[in-house]
Structure 1
Amino acid sequence: MSGCNDDSSNDSHSGEPNPAPEGSNIEFLIHPYLQMPQPTSMTVRFEASADSAQVWVREQGSHSAWSVVEADLIDLTISETRSATLQGLKPKTVYEYYVVSDNGSEQSVSEMYFFKTYNEKGDKSPFNIIAIGDTQNGDTQNGDTLGVLEDVINSGIIQYACENDKEQCAENLTAITIAGDIVSDGYNFEHWRDQFFEQMKNITPYVPLITVPGNHDYSKDAHLTKYKHFFETPKNGDPSYDETWYTIDINNLRMFGMDSFPISHSHSNFQRDVLKQQIHWMSNERSATESDENIDYMFSMMHHPCLSEMWITGESLGSCEIVAETENYSKATGKISGHFFGHTHAYSRGQSMDTPHLWMNSSTSQATESQCIMHITYMIFRTTTP
């Protein structure tokens, strides 16, 4: 296993991490969360005040030596969030890990966490994805909804999808997708720390987050500085729009992460040139996906809906172009496609009339208690062998 930038950062230790002195367990500002899930690697991120920090990792239940990977600061001008990329892992394997921090005079150790690496590309084993969206806290007009997301996680997802055991989430769930509007104000750092990560802390150490931005994430932050600080996405999109368009493979599913904000008139200024470039990139990737024998499903995820019975004024013709490209995969191959979207603060699902294409709107994580039963405001998407 190697670290983010240099294989020399890897070190192996026998035995257990030294227990922290009483009362000196790590005080996370942002609890660990998982990024960039792959069959042979996983990225762990967290924020804690420390001179240095490492992630100790090994196969679950083994008594082998720990591999220790340095957790590097991402950008100290924004936060003390650190990132450690664990490489050389085995596919389809559960790993246990600790975070260990050092302040010079004192070492602190976290509780033990778990994650599971992805299966090899093309694996046809069924898997579960949790689809949510619009996790931001409500504004004063709609009412304060802080705490609803936490209830969705603890009373909904962990209770039902993880058998009321957060550690079981690593085995039962492959990813949590978030279809944008992750926070209310993308430029406000405290919204990220307190209103998003703090509410998600019981599940993020165990299940990777796969995200796309929404209009609120762009709020006062046209370059998505904070969003890109916290989230890492595959660098396989258009170089001109780094970290906003990408694809990621999960078994025999290819997921397209798209950015509907600049191609929407809703809370944005429609940019025809961006739409043309984004669809050109997606069309090329879709054609390559059609000929990839390891892929049986193609899904896209964006924030704005193409069509919505819940909020017609929130619809975006730019998103309809993304949906059409995704449908083209099904038309060419006969295989199932679909898309996740948010923006409406509602839940709905359907399918295209003449194409095996699913429409999944799961963006009720911000709803108030009077609007919905809080612990049923998420969707489980389960694949099966085609």
Structure 2
Amino acid sequence: MSLNPKNALNFSGGPGALPEVVLNQVQQSIINVPEVGLSILGISHRSAWFEAVVRETEDNIRKLLNLPDDFHILFLQGGATQQFSQVPMTMLRGKKHAAEYLDTGYWSRKVVTEAMREGPVKVVWSGESDGYRRLPTEEELTFSPDAPYIHYVSNETVEGLQFNRVLGHDHVPRVCDMSSDFLSKPCEADKFSLIYAHAQKNIGPAGVTIVLIRDSVVQNGTKDLPAFLDYRRQIEAHSNLNTPPVFAIYVVLLVTRWLLNDIGGVEKMGEINRVKADLLFSILDNSDDFYHSWAAPEHRSDMNVAFTLPTKEIEAAFFEETRAADFSGLEGHRAIGGVRASIYNALSVSSVEKLAGFMQDFQRRHRK
């Protein structure tokens, strides 16, 4: 059964769109989950069925990322924002050497602020002077061998900047916020010590955050944290220390099944996402600056295409006409304004083609 067609044109920065096949399954589960005969909203988190959901979702993520055996997978609450604090609570508290952070955009600035509450922090590079329009080159980065860890955001959702390489050195733990490109393409997960990603971009609804954490980080981390903020306790409870977001985790399960069985894995997903991004960047690059990309070409994101138009009046007309054409979620983040087309996993190539066609037509009509 086909659901609301406007879902196919949801370019929101988050929560993002979900695949139609998943939405159909979710619709059914609200009434009853076939294996249980109860609504997903009323199934106990202590049930054998939910334990199986958690196990399968973990297994699917391991399979999609070829995750090493020494990683634990957690499904936590509090969003990525909680991880801004929980990571330094675990890995920085009590340390004499500074953790090293990159300041590459809106979200990494927030991460740095929270980390400073827990211990010494060094910002090894900042894009502030360039208006957060680019990322650092290798030559601009120098990391200390004594740092407890390095931290960076793989994809800056607001500015549309994305790293396509792994930073740092293997002898210093790497921590990465992958919230907006997790499972959107292949990831060298084995090179990281901790990866976290809230679900509501590519892999599910708001309410659950996936944390991949090496056992060495767990064993060496701070020992006197409250249970809810202690990775060790969460692992012992198998992500069930307190009532978890059953519905959100179930939807993540359905999305991982879709990635494995319908898409064919993250390598294929990455190829599809590259096609979508190329479609929109081609419009920007061939518009004679009518559409002006926020990010430098070499650092553009495959997930978030941020751009501006010649005047505020033309921008207002753009939003008015896109809404009339059933496009949604194209308003840029309040931090920088402009337009932002978020093309997460569930946005189809045909949906992006429709937006590209609209943009070409809009340019012809408003060029002068």
TM-score bracket for this pair, using the shorter chain length:
under 0.3
Bigger strand share: 1
| Normalised TM-score (structure 2) | 0.23
Higher RCO structure (Cα 8 Å, ≥6 apart): 2
Bigger helix share: 2
| Normalised TM-score (structure 1) | 0.22
